[in-house]
Amino acid sequence: MRIAYQGEPGAYSEAAALRIKPTADVLPRESFEAVFMAVKEGAATHGILPIENTIGGTIHQNYDLLLQHELPIVGEVKQPIVHNLLAIGGTARDTLRRIYSHPQGLAQCERFLRTLDNVELVPTYDTAGSAKMIRDGELRDTGAIASERAADVFGLSILEAAVQDFADNTTRFLLIGRDAATFGAPNKTTIVFTVTNDAGALFKALSVFALRDIDLTKLESRPIPERPFEYLFYADLSGARDDLPCARALMHLAEFAPSLRTLGSYQRWEEPTG
């Protein structure tokens, strides 16, 4: 099993991939689009994508990419995120003039970053990639918000540990594959649908699940670029697509949803025990 992820070694996406399968071969890629292409072209069997964070919210780009590519969701994983302030060894905190990190990393450490004086916040393509940029450029006036593993990989020191705004900082990742074979028995389904621009249309769409006691664990709207002020709705359902109540609900929804697509039916993440 080879899992493509966005970022450099030490990225949280790499940690999430190895949490799903510790023996997996991991393949770094520069962008989320490149992760999809690696799976599509056969360079990887699977790809892993962050989809939402408990502090920073939804990663909207990946919802858009799931719609663009015909690659099913086959699993999910929740990865604890512990951010650290990294810098070249011997650097004093008050000498830092720039902080590099992915925009999500900066957003998740906003309170801590406000305590730093005369520091420019610089968004980059990756948390671990920020550590690499500092190492490669020997940037002694620059710090990075990244993981402890990124510090080890790129030989940096941790100036401040666990600087995220909230201790319980977790990102949910989706695993995509070339086919629909899942890890374990599916008990969760992700769909995307549209509704007509009529009064009560969304209420009617969601009622098909309420009538059958199917829990919606997430509902997300995204604009349709070529149709101003019209929206796609992404929903996570508690149930397998082939379970009778879920299958009937989707058939019912199809009666008045102009478009409906199942993005994947897969096993909900459960924290390992023991």
Residue 116 has a pLDDT of: 93
Give the pLDDT confidence of 36-73 residue by residue, as tens digits: 999 999 999 999 999 999 988 899 999 999 999 999 99
> What torsion do the CA atoms of 168, 72, 241, 267 make, to the nearest 10 degrees?
-40
**Do 173 and 76 have their domain in common?**
yes
Give the pLDDT confidence of 114-149 residue by residue, as tens digits: 999 999 999 999 999 999 999 999 999 999 999 999
Give the pLDDT confidence of 68-90 residue by residue, as tens digits: 999 999 999 999 999 999 999 99
pLDDT at 274 over 70: no
Residue 179 has a pLDDT of: 85
Provide the token pair at 100. Answer: 């590099």
Nearest to 134 by CA among 126, 125, 142, 123: 142
> What torsion do the CA atoms of 9, 6, 101, 62 make, to the nearest 10 degrees?
-160
**Do 70 and 89 have their domain in common?**
no
Residue 180 has a pLDDT of: 80
Task: Tell me the CATH number at 233.
Answer: 3.30.70.260
pLDDT at 184 over 90: no
Task: Tell me the CATH number at 115.
Answer: 3.40.190.10
Cα–Cα separations (whole angstroms), residue 77 to 13, 43, 243: 10, 22, 22
Residue 197 has a pLDDT of: 87
Integer Cα distance of 16 and 252 in angstroms: 36
Please indicate, yes or no, if residue 274 is contained in any of the structural domains: no
Please indicate, yes or no, if residue 271 is contained in any of the structural domains: no
Q: Facing residues of 267 across strands?
A: none
Residue 39 has a pLDDT of: 97
**Do 105 and 132 have their domain in common?**
yes
Q: Tokens 């450029």, residue?
A: 137
Under DSSP, the state recorded for 95 is G
By residue count, the chain amounts to: 274
**Do 212 and 257 have their domain in common?**
yes
**Do 93 and 215 have their domain in common?**
no
Structural domain ending residue among the three candidates 121, 150, 177? 177
Three-state DSSP at 97 gives: coil
Residue 160 has a pLDDT of: 96
**Do 262 and 194 have their domain in common?**
yes
Three-state DSSP at 201 gives: helix
Please indicate, yes or no, if residue 183 is contained in any of the structural domains: no
Provide the token pair at 65. Answer: 């990419």
Give the total number of structural domains in the chain. 3
Domain that includes residue 13, residue range:
2-81+169-177
pTM value surpassing 0.85: yes
Q: Which residues are catalytic?
A: 171, 173
